[in-house]
C-alpha cells in the first residue's frame, strides 16, 4: 500500500468519466508526482492513455453494484475498499483543481478524517434530499449538527475510518439516494472526529468569485450540478483549454477503438 494519493470515482453517465479525466489531468499539472487512481465502470476507460500521465485506471464491473441514478453512491460509500493508499484524498468528478494540494495532507495530523463544511452548514438546512430521509435524519440528529460536503474527503486508513465507511454504507442503504446525510449519521454513530478543512478546498464557483484575484488562493473548485449539462467542460476550458481539448481527442479516439472491437 502506497503512502498517499488521490482517487476519483466516475460511474454511470460517460460525462462523469470525461470530467474526472479533466480533473485528474489538471491536478497532475499542479502535482507532478502525486499518485492518482481513477475508478470507473465505463469500458472506455481501457482505451484512454491515462498511464501516460501517471493516472492509474481501475475498471469496476457492473455487477459490483446496482445500476441506477445513484449507483455511484454505493461505490462512494465504500471508497476505502478501493483506495490503494494509506492516506487518501477523494475528489468528486466535478472538482476542478486550481492549485497544488500538497499542504492538505498536514490536516491529517489533527485527525484521521478531514472535510469542508457544506454551503448549508447544518443538517436542518439540507434541502436537496428527499423529505423522508431528512425527517429520518432529524429524528436521530439535531438540526444544528454540522453538515460536511463529501465532494472532497481526506482520510487516513485506520480502524476508525474503516468503521466509518462500513457505517456509511449501511446508512446509505436505508434510502439509497444521496450520500451526504448518510455520512453525517455515520459520523455521529461511530463518533469519529472530523477536522474542518478551509472552504477553499471545496468551494463553489459562486463563492469563489470574490476570492479570485485576491491573496486567498482557491485550491479546489466544486462545480456541482454542471457535468451532464456540459457546463463543467466550459468552466474547465477557461483554466485548462489544452487539457479539455486533449481529453476530447482521447474520447473520440477511444470511442472509435471501442466501436471497432464490437463490430
Would you list the domain boundaries of the chain?
Answer: 2-262
Q: Which range is least confidently modeled, 48-57, 62-71, 232-241?
A: 62-71
Q: How far is CA 90 from CA 10, 38, 55, 146, 250, in A?
A: 12, 10, 14, 20, 24
- For 86, other C-beta atoms within 10 Å of its C-beta total 15
Q: What share of the chain is helix, strand, coil (3-state, %, to 5)?
A: 50, 20, 30
* Per-residue pLDDT at 263 exceeds 60: no
Residue 182: name the closest of 197, 193, 167, 194 by CA.
Answer: 167
Helix (H) or strand (E) holding 55: strand 55-59
- For 231, other C-beta atoms within 10 Å of its C-beta total 14
Q: Which range is least confidently modeled, 109-118, 124-133, 232-241?
A: 124-133
pTM: 0.93
120 burial (CB, 10 Å; 0-12 / 13-18 / 19+) is middle
Q: Which CATH architecture has domain 2-262?
A: Alpha-Beta Complex (3.90)
Q: Is residue 28 a contact partner of residue 50, using CB atoms and an 8 Å limit?
A: no
Cell of 37: 487512481
In degrees and rounded to multiples of 5, residue 117 shows phi and psi of -65, 140
pLDDT at 254: 86
Q: How confident is the model at residue 65 (pLDDT cuts 50, 70, 90)?
A: very low
Distance CA 200, CA 179 (A): 22
* Per-residue pLDDT at 204 exceeds 80: yes
Angle, CA 37 vertex, CA 63 and CA 49 arms, to 5°: 95
pLDDT at 104: 96
Question: How much of the chain exceeds pLDDT 90, in percent?
Answer: 81
Average pLDDT of the chain?
Answer: 92
Question: How much of the chain exceeds pLDDT 70, in percent?
Answer: 94
Helix (H/G/I), strand (E/B), else coil: 28: helix
* Per-residue pLDDT at 36 exceeds 90: yes
pLDDT at 62: 58
Q: How confident is the model at residue 126 (pLDDT cuts 50, 70, 90)?
A: confident
pLDDT at 12: 83
pLDDT at 196: 98
Helix (H) or strand (E) holding 88: strand 85-91
Distance CA 236, CA 219 (A): 14
pLDDT at 259: 55
239 burial (CB, 10 Å; 0-12 / 13-18 / 19+) is middle
Mean pLDDT confidence for 224-234? 93
Mean pLDDT confidence for 71-88? 90
Query: CA 83, 86, 92, 94 torsion: positive or negative?
Result: negative
Q: Which range is least confidently modeled, 81-85, 136-140, 175-179?
A: 175-179
Amino acid at each position: 500500500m502506497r503512502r498517499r494519493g488521490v482517487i476519483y470515482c466516475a460511474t454511470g453517465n460517460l460525462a462523469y468519466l470525461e470530467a474526472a479525466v479533466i480533473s485528474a489531468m489538471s491536478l497532475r499539472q499542479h502535482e507532478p508526482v502525486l499518485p492518482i487512481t481513477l475508478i470507473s465502470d465505463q469500458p472506455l476507460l481501457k482505451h484512454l492513455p491515462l498511464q501516460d500521465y501517471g493516472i492509474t485506471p481501475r475498471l469496476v464491473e457492473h455487477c459490483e453494484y446496482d445500476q441506477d441514478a445513484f449507483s455511484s453512491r454505493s461505490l462512494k460509500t465504500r471508497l476505502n475498499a478501493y483506495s490503494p493508499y494509506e492516506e487518501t484524498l477523494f475528489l468528486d468528478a466535478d472538482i476542478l483543481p486550481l492549485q497544488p494540494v500538497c499542504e492538505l495532507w498536514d490536516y491529517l495530523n489533527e485527525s484521521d478524517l478531514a472535510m469542508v463544511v457544506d454551503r448549508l452548514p447544518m443538517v436542518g438546512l439540507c434541502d436537496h434530499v428527499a423529505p423522508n430521509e431528512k425527517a429520518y435524519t432529524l429524528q436521530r440528529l439535531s438540526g444544528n449538527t454540522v453538515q460536511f460536503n463529501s465532494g472532497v474527503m481526506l482520510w487516513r486508513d485506520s480502524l476508525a475510518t474503516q468503521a466509518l465507511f462500513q457505517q456509511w454504507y449501511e446508512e446509505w442503504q436505508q434510502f439509497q439516494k444521496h450520500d451526504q446525510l448518510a455520512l453525517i449519521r455515520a459520523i455521529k454513530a461511530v463518533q469519529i472526529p472530523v477536522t474542518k478543512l478551509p472552504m477553499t478546498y471545496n468551494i463553489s464557483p459562486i463563492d469563489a468569485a470574490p476570492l479570485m484575484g485576491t491573496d486567498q488562493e482557491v485550491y479546489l473548485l466544486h462545480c456541482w450540478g454542471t457535468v451532464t449539462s456540459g457546463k463543467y467542460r466550459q468552466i474547465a476550458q477557461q483554466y485548462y483549454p489544452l487539457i479539455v481539448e486533449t481529453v476530447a481527442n482521447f474520447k473520440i479516439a477511444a470511442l472509435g477503438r471501442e466501436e471497432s472491437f464490437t463490430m
